[in-house]
Amino acid sequence: MSDFSPADILAQALPYIRKFHGKTLVIKYGGNAMTDPALQKAFAEDVVLLKLVGMNPVVVHGGGPQIEGLLQRLGKKGEFIEGMRVTDAETMEVVEWVLGGEVQQDIVGLINQAGGKAVGLTGRDGAMIRAKKLTVHDSKDPSKEYDVGQVGDIVSIDPSVVKALQDDAFIPVVSPIGFGENNESYNINADVVAAKLATVLSAEKLLMLTNIRGVLDKAGELLTELTPRRIDELIADGTISGGMIPKIAGALDAAKSGVNAVHIIDGRVPHAMLLEVLTEQAFGTMIRSH
């Protein structure tokens, strides 16, 4: 970007500002961008700027490291099965306290400090995220099931509370906690919540901030664009594995369900999100529906 003068960058941004005015952008906020103070500040400024130029950002956040940190302080060891955190009742209390409290309010505070008006929500607010217990199958033997406790699968999302806030100049910040038919709480993968929310809001873009440059091939080269067929190949040969699988699966679902563009971008680059939305530069991997 050093070749550009500030005027060049602003001129390049204009068509994108015009194109995305009034459009919804769902942003999955995670990784280093959430834990490095300078990146936190840059992220909050980006969100506020996108709102000020007429777009409607909605933030969905994770909080794995923060949950892990508190569980350790409480002397509780985190257990994972097939990439899912085993969530008993005590762990669920910690998850709700960390995600719906500490992490969410930190993000709300940062956005407000940057000049925005953020409002924190969990899936309970406005009866937004209805969930049921997630069934987890063994990756090698699909007939084998695991009980991972209060980990949820989304039944439905009612986005009316998010829409009401957006229309009123607020920036919604959503914690990935859903509720079941008996009012029990469920911990849901934040990538999955972001993808589903982008779908029900008919978002223009889904931006997923991660700790890598995007999806890399076996040689470590960045894949700037992916199609469903290529994704299947990369999962089959193990290039995409572990925690990247739900991220990519959610992104692909969103792309197939009408979200115009899904980007997996490097949250370690200051203002990467802004550069992705407002310039021609590709800052990660774009997932297409076909």
pLDDT in tens, 71-120: 999 999 888 888 788 999 999 999 999 999 999 999 999 999 999 999 99
Question: Looking at the chain, which runs of residues are DSSP E strands?
Answer: 24-29, 56-61, 80-81, 84-85, 118-122, 129-133, 136-137, 145-146, 152-157, 171-175, 177-179, 185-187, 205-210, 215-216, 222-223, 225-226, 261-266, 284-287
Q: Is 32 annotated for ligand binding? A: no
pLDDT for the residue numbered 140: 84
Q: State the sign of the Cα–Cα–Cα–Cα dihedral 194, 89, 211, 112.
A: positive
Within a domain: residue 1?
no
Question: Do residues 165 and 172 lie in contact, with contact meaning Cβ atoms separated by under 8 Å?
Answer: yes
Within a domain: residue 173?
yes
Within a domain: residue 70?
yes
Total domains in the fold of the chain: 1
pLDDT digits (tens, 9 = 90+) for 15-55: 999 999 999 999 999 877 888 899 999 999 999 999 999 99
Q: Is 83 annotated for ligand binding? A: no
Q: Is 63 annotated for ligand binding? A: yes
Within a domain: residue 289?
no
Pairing status of strand 152-157 against strand 129-133: antiparallel
Within a domain: residue 290?
no
Domain range for 199 is 6-282
CATH classification at residue 183: 3.40.1160.10
Question: Do residues 279 and 9 lie in contact, with contact meaning Cβ atoms separated by under 8 Å?
Answer: yes
Quick one: what percent of the chain has pLDDT higher than 90?
Answer: 58
Distances (CA, A) of 267 to 11, 51, 63: 24, 19, 14
Q: Is 189 annotated for ligand binding? A: no
